[in-house]
Amino acid sequence: MEKKRTLARTALALGMLLSGFTALSSAAQAEDYTAWRDIETKYIFGFTTGSGIGLEGEKEFTVDAIGRFGKRDGSYGASETKYEFEFTPSQFIQIEFGALGSTHDIHNVPDLDNRRQVALAGGFAEFRYLAIERTSSNPLAVTLGLEPTFRRIDETGGERIHNYELETTINADLELVKNRLFAGFNFLYEPEVTLTALDETVREAKLGGSAALAWRIAPNVVIGGEVWYLRHYDSIGLQDFTGDAVMLGPTLYVRFAPKMFMTAAWNTQVWGREIGNPVSLNLAEFQRNRARLKFAVEF
């Protein structure tokens, strides 16, 4: 029953977002948006990643910061920032790599040490393949992604570890209205293995999916909303389910210049459960809120 109520609230929220976008569009001055330049959909959905991989030969430098805030008790704030270089060697392949920086500000959170630190956290690479290309007769595009990551600083608690993660994604989007309205969908499987300072080996995985809408209200401005459903397991084989969560929030994309843009997003946990714990929300495996701010320059 609780799941049905959550799904109903999520559907209502997305419906209200779409209604708001329609109202904004109706209030705006009439314009031939079919003549607007095509937009790369990779960045317009917030935490949800679109299918776009850029133009062949294009290069990009990006600073992508994700902040996580709020546990059940105490004061909790952490962030991870990617400093990445991205290039597109062909019209179907995109490659990214870079370094990770992290911050932690933790005080009186159960099961976590008090900590205030800034650290170089590790490195990552990402490989994306455009499996289905959008055409004039096909509004659907699909990209497959693989992102190996090494961390020396734990994402949640900030302690020193050796963490190996392999994020696997399917990124899809639909052009619902030419150059104006887009729907994005992600499927995520993220196994990881962590070697702790006590020589313990911890295996876990995250599984989830998202749906997003993005409404282009001006040639260089896109607003939208997204919803994520995430599950956590204490194994990489998806046994030992420990809890899940639903996160919902608004998104914004602004292109300041032909080769410079920003993405911003905010997600709040609207429902969650911890297996074996009757409390509301899942603040053990997930956070109460998360935010994303991304700046990029193409060249």
More confident residue, 13 or 173: 173
pLDDT-derived band of residue 36, with 50, 70 and 90 as boundaries?
Answer: confident
Q: What is the CATH number of the domain that holds 58?
A: 2.40.160.40
Contact present, 269 and 286 (Cβ < 8 Å) = yes
Q: What is the pLDDT of residue 12?
A: 59
The 10s digit of each residue's pLDDT in 174-229 is 999 999 999 999 999 999 999 998 889 999 999 999 999 999 999 999 999 999 99
Least confident of 54-58, 84-88, 230-234: 54-58
Percent of the chain with pLDDT over 70: 89
Q: What are the phi and psi torsion angles at 156 (to 5°)?
A: -85, -55
pLDDT at 122 over 50: yes
Q: What is the pLDDT of residue 13?
A: 58
Q: Alpha carbon 231 to chain centroid distance?
A: 15
Instruction: Please give the mean pLDDT across all residues of the chain.
Output: 92
Domain total in the chain: 1
3-state SS track over the chain: CHHHHHHHHHHHHHHHHHHHHHHHHHHCCCCCHHHCCCCCHHHCECCECCCCCCCCCCEEEEEEEEEEECCCCCEEEEEEEEEEEEEEEECCEEEEEEEEEEEEEEECCCCCCCEEEEEEEEEEEEEEEEEECCCCCCCEEEEEEEEEEEEEECCCCCCEEEEEEEEEEEEEEEEEECCCEEEEEEEEEEEEEEECCCCCEEEEEEEEEEEEEEEEEECCEEEEEEEEEEEEECCCCCCCEEEEEEEEEEEEEEEEECCEEEEEEEEEEEEEEECCECCCCCCCCCCCEEEEEEEEEEC
The 10s digit of each residue's pLDDT in 227-265 is 999 999 999 999 999 999 999 999 999 999 999 999 999
Range of the domain at 252: 2-289+291-298
The 10s digit of each residue's pLDDT in 135-159 is 989 999 999 999 999 999 999 999 9
Average pLDDT value for residue range 163-168: 98
pLDDT at 106 over 50: yes
> For 76, what's the count of Cα atoms within 13 Å in the CB-facing half-sphere?
24
Q: Tell the burial category of 183 from Cβ atoms under 10 Å away from its Cβ (0-12, 13-18, 19+).
A: buried
pLDDT-derived band of residue 27, with 50, 70 and 90 as boundaries?
Answer: very low
The model scores a pTM over 0.85 = yes
